Structure 1
Amino acid sequence: MSALCPVCNLTLPLSLIQSHVNSHFEDDEIDPQIESDHHLALQLASSSSSDPSPSSSASSSTKSQFYSVGNGGLICLLRNCLESELKSKSKPLECSTSLLSGYVDHFQSSKEDKGWGCGWRNIQMQCSHLLFYREEAKRVLFGGSDFVPDIPSLQRWLELAWSKGFDVSGALHFDNRICGSKRWIGTTECAALLRSFGLKARIVDFAPKKSKSMYLSVPGSAIAPKVKSYGPMDRYVVKKGGSGKGKAVDSHSSNASRISKGAVLMEWVWNYFSDNRLNVSSGVHMTNKGPLYFQHEGHSRTIVGIQRRLLGTTFTPQYNLLILDPADFTRAIEKALIEKRGWEGYLKRGAHTLTCPEYQMLYVDNGIADGEELEKLKTIDSHFVEF
């Protein structure tokens, strides 16, 4: 009986695989939790008979199969299109600036998960970036396996996070079981999964003040008000302040009534990718910021950047979110970007498209939490930005 090494993908007899996996890390002191996760990754890779995935091979039962884009990936192709657009459509009274995350693989929904799998696909996109750019994340994510797991394996990892005490109330909402399920998940489940590895996943809620008591209830947070939730994809959380109530953190909340909700959200995304710098030169810039898990009622997508155009004599800002949608086909996006024709329809979303009453973002801060900080991450909390 053989198994696949989750680190180097080498197939070895099961009796040798554990010592082989450990050899990849023998020069470093291995954290007991990471070593435990290595063992689980190995179990997932070798237990295809119990995997709800239709695949029968050990390797494909854990590693998600997706269409890999050449030429540096979709973000590189997107950068080329934005630069070409800047050269061909530049106007005397227009200043255009685009900010992009680094490498992100696009994971499209398949016929098996169509209609319910977008949350998992966005987790996969988030993880593809983390594994590509952050050595600290690569070390702890999925037992150091260095690849993005498929949905059945992600479901197992989420159950393990619940068993460790992450998002206890949220786990109860799902009866502590998600494996083999087609139930929708959202940012709360993504946060619980990533936090279980020590990653500092943060959630931000965007909603009108009057709807806080209605929409910011979440089974996954012990500090949330006890109000009926609208379902697992619409579960929102509140950051506990001195009074135990929602605490607004947006600097523009005082005059939000004079700004459309789309503008508030767009400005937040711009500040995130620009790292709150006031002056960013025109052009296309790769940033050190990761993609954003972007949730709203009924669907979720991944924001990989933002474009700002300063128009007219007043230089009024006009924003476009740059988004990867699991509902789109990867090959179609790639083709449009390579041909530089029709790509805007796949990736650009203006403020006028933000018509939902509430939105939610998730991003991952740098660093790995442990000790007391890790314990605090078990309670899923968020910042609230008022429309």
Structure 2
Amino acid sequence: MSALCPVCNLTLPHDQIESHVNAHFDDDKIDPQIASDHHLALQLASTSDPSPSSSASSSNLDDKAASLVRSQTKSPFYSVGNGGLICLLKTCLESELKSKSKPLECSTSLLSGFVDHFQASKEDKGWGCGWRNIQMQCSHLLSHRQEAKRVLFGGSNFVPDIPSLQRWLELAWNNGFDVAGALHFNNQICGSKRWIGTTECAALLRSFGLKARVVDFAPKKSQAMYLSVPGSTIAPKIKSYGPMDRFVIKKGESGKGKTVDSHGSNLSRTSKGAVLMGWVWNYFSDNRLNVSSGVHMTSKAPLYFQHEGHSRTIVGIQRRLQGTTFTPQYNLLILDPGDFTRGIEKALVEKRGWEGFLKRGAHTLTCPEYQILYVDNGIADGEELEQLKTIDSHFVEFYCLP
């Protein structure tokens, strides 16, 4: 037996309806948008097959989603003042431009908007980096994208803790998102300390209708291998999904693979650092050829950055043009869940030692393969949502130079 909630029109079992209705009146004022958001999130999280054979299963998944919306817990984290870490980083980059000891007149930095830093705790040290980067990604989406705020975690408007995220991921698997990846974990992740990777992040975000895309950076010979990271099971496809995928693979007359950017420039035999940095720059610059020097806030979400054994969050990129040929030199601007938030904040406020926390040059990209996840705008539904259940990736080739 089920009943309809008189506030949000959500159908729930009789034994849950009383507590659900009472929850609407915990606050003095009911936000009708939040009530609608809960319903939309549950629709996106449920199967769309209306056939009688699937109705019982669909109802069960709806019940699980409704229960999780009510029971999920907000993740504790250290809140940074002064507009958050990204604003502090912007100030440091601007000060660097004005420094007389090391002038950077031809330096351009591109940053994502607000991102909360979620540091690893004693409880998840050594295995929780993937979850922490999901939390960082979601903190931005909740702050900057209204459509994401409406569907993420039932419209709760907060970033859940790791146990709650694990339950959301299991629900995504139960709804058919990333079947191959789910089998790797035997469809169970709650209470586990097993590592997760980019594909688990993609499955979780896609289950809410968010258009999470995965990009692989690897030598051609590794195209079918991808990362040897637990759970990173991807159906490979060399396919461009949109303007963010700058690089495509083409065959030259000699038969050797050549990497070509969207403007036709030949990047044949380019090292992994140059290719990856170029892609990240293109992502944050939104394919613009001419970006003025200075520090710019963009509309881009941060990037989930995975390599074997660890993952971090890219919140921006710096480009310096040096020498008479103006050869670009890049620094990724990264938040690492392994660092202490207070330490990062202190370094940024004092403008001393912050580079060691946040800057990573091309020479640091020593792993054989990398994965990046980004989130396109918009919410998928219908057939597009069904297509998102299969996690595939765009392959970007680089060459290992001797």
TM over 0.5: yes
Distance 1:69 1:41, change over 3 A: farther
In the alignment, is the contact (CA less than 8 A) between 2:320 and 2:330 conserved in 1? yes
Alignment equivalent of 1:163, drawn from 174, 193, 204: 174
- In structure 2, list runs of 5 or more residues that go unmatched: 1-17, 46-61, 241-246, 251-257, 261-265
**Bigger radius of gyration among the two:** 2
Q: Partners of 1:170 and 1:92 in 2: how far apart? A: 48
User: What does residue range 279-318 of structure 1 map to in structure 2 within 5 Å?
Assistant: 279-318=290-329
Alignment equivalent of 1:72, drawn from 60, 83, 88: 83
- Matching residue of 1:17: 22
For 1:350, the aligned partner's letter is G
For 1:119, the aligned partner's letter is G
Alignment equivalent of 1:238, drawn from 236, 243, 263: 236
- Matching residue of 1:319: 330
- Matching residue of 2:67: 43
Secondary structure at the residue paired with 1:362? strand
User: What does residue range 217-366 of structure 1 map to in structure 2 within 5 Å?
Assistant: 230-232=228-230, 234-239=232-237, 249=248, 253-254=259-260, 255-366=266-377
Deviates more, 1:257-266 or 1:198-207: 257-266
Displacement, 1:214? 2.8
Q: Partners of 1:272 and 1:372 in 2: how far apart? A: 27
Secondary structure at the residue paired with 1:232? coil
Displacement, 1:340? 0.2
- Matching residue of 1:7: none
Displacement, 1:39? 7.0
For 1:162, the aligned partner's letter is W
For 2:321, the aligned partner's letter is L
For 1:232, the aligned partner's letter is P
Distance 1:41 1:86, change over 3 A: farther
- In structure 1, list runs of 5 or more residues that go unmatched: 1-12, 48-60, 217-229, 243-247
Displacement, 1:261? 1.0
Secondary structure at the residue paired with 1:238? strand
Deviation string, structure 1 residues 191-238 (Cα, Å, up to 9, x no partner) = 00000000000010000001113337xxxxxxxxxxxxx342554441
For 2:41, the aligned partner's letter is I
Secondary structure at the residue paired with 1:386? strand
Displacement, 1:260? 1.6
Sequence identity percentage: 77
Secondary structure at the residue paired with 1:213? coil
- Matching residue of 2:196: 185
In the alignment, is the contact (CA less than 8 A) between 2:169 and 2:204 conserved in 1? yes
In the alignment, is the contact (CA less than 8 A) between 2:65 and 2:171 conserved in 1? no
Aligned length: 344
User: What does residue range 126-165 of structure 1 map to in structure 2 within 5 Å?
Assistant: 126-165=137-176
For 1:253, the aligned partner's letter is T
In the alignment, is the contact (CA less than 8 A) between 1:304 and 1:324 conserved in 2? yes
Alignment equivalent of 1:369, drawn from 357, 380, 402: 380
Deviation string, structure 1 residues 265-297 (Cα, Å, up to 9, x no partner) = 000000000001000000000001000000000
Alignment equivalent of 1:383, drawn from 362, 370, 394: 394
Deviation string, structure 1 residues 5-63 (Cα, Å, up to 9, x no partner) = xxxxxxxx93533544994226986685525679757634765xxxxxxxxxxxxx610
In the alignment, is the contact (CA less than 8 A) between 2:69 and 2:154 conserved in 1? no
In the alignment, is the contact (CA less than 8 A) between 2:136 and 2:313 conserved in 1? yes
- Matching residue of 1:122: 133
Displacement, 1:357? 0.6
Distance 1:87 1:374, change over 3 A: same
Deviation string, structure 1 residues 72-121 (Cα, Å, up to 9, x no partner) = 00000000000000000586785000000000000000010000000000
Q: Partners of 2:183 and 2:132 in 1: how far apart? A: 23
In the alignment, is the contact (CA less than 8 A) between 1:41 and 1:145 conserved in 2? no
Return the TM-score normalized by structure 1.
Answer: 0.82
Q: Partners of 1:214 and 1:197 in 2: how far apart? A: 28
Distance 1:355 1:139, change over 3 A: same
Distance 1:206 1:27, change over 3 A: closer
Distance 1:84 1:39, change over 3 A: farther
Q: Partners of 2:175 and 2:278 in 1: how far apart? A: 36
Deviation string, structure 1 residues 332-380 (Cα, Å, up to 9, x no partner) = 0000000000000000000000001100000000000000000000000
Distance 1:89 1:257, change over 3 A: farther
- Matching residue of 1:51: none
In the alignment, is the contact (CA less than 8 A) between 1:234 and 1:297 conserved in 2? no
Q: Partners of 2:144 and 2:313 in 1: how far apart? A: 17
